[in-house]
Amino acid sequence: MCINNILVLGNFTWDRTTHYLKPLVPNDHSEDPKTLTNKQRALLSCLVDAHPNTICNTEIIKKVWGNEHISQESLPQLINRTRRVLEDSQKNILVNKPGIGYSLNFEFAPKTLADNNVESLPPQPPRQGVKKSHSNRWRAVALVLTIVTVFNVWHTAQALYYKMDFERVLHASPYSEIKKDENGNVIVTIDNHECIYHKDQLLLQCP
């Protein structure tokens, strides 16, 4: 059972909550922390969980790759890449038990070292899923604003058209050839023809 998440792996310390390996003894020439891939992190985690027992190859493959189809070389290649990252040229950290599987040779870091390791961890890069969610949200807001803007412009143009039409009617000159007969009918002269406008029927009758 782990007493903390900070492990000593050869010349490095590793916080199981991150992908970073830090030099056990920092100096002025220390490089940036080394980074584990997701598969390397999963490999080390399953070996830590099995400690001090040796975990068989099939169980490692199940925990690291799940139901993913892999070749027979996938696990040995992952082991070799992880040894290079850990500088485990003597194969003393990732220990192979022929015919059985692998175990991990490590120690839990003292509490003082673990506290210092946590304080100096490099900032985690933002998760891609969060960035994508924010990007989609802004796209949706921009789309809504565009629709609202187009709707308002269309109604503004329509209002201006009706305003101009109303002003033309309001300021139009009355038709000069209009009179009423003795019966009160409206007589409209059009091209020298007198037409009677029946107001109750909204009908203009010309001979």
The domains of the chain, with CATH numbers, are 6-122 (1.10.10.10), 175-207 (no CATH)
Mean pLDDT on 83-96: 93
Evaluated on CA atoms 40, 46, 49, 54, the torsion sign reads negative
| pLDDT recorded at residue 175 | 63
Question: Is the pLDDT reported for residue 103 higher than 80?
Answer: yes
Counted residue by residue, the chain has a size of: 207
| pLDDT recorded at residue 2 | 44
Q: How confident is the model at residue 99 (pLDDT cuts 50, 70, 90)?
A: confident
Pairing mode of beta strands 55-56, 186-190:
unpaired
- Of all residues in the chain, the percent with pLDDT exceeding 90 is 37
| pLDDT recorded at residue 30 | 55
Question: DSSP labels for 72-87?
Answer: TTHHHHHHHHHHHHHT
pLDDT digits (tens, 9 = 90+) for 123-143: 555 555 555 667 788 888 899
| pLDDT recorded at residue 1 | 39
Q: How confident is the model at residue 21 (pLDDT cuts 50, 70, 90)?
A: very high
| pLDDT recorded at residue 105 | 92
Three-point CA angle 139, 141, 144, nearest 5°: 110
Question: Is the pLDDT reported for residue 43 higher than 80?
Answer: yes
Across the chain, which distance is largest between two alpha carbons, in Å? 126
| pLDDT recorded at residue 127 | 53
Q: Supply the mean pLDDT for the chain.
A: 82
Which stretches of the chain are assigned E, i.e. beta strand?
A: 6-9, 12-15, 20-23, 34-35, 55-56, 94-97, 101-104, 107-108, 178-180, 186-190, 193-198, 203-205
- Of all residues in the chain, the percent with pLDDT exceeding 70 is 81
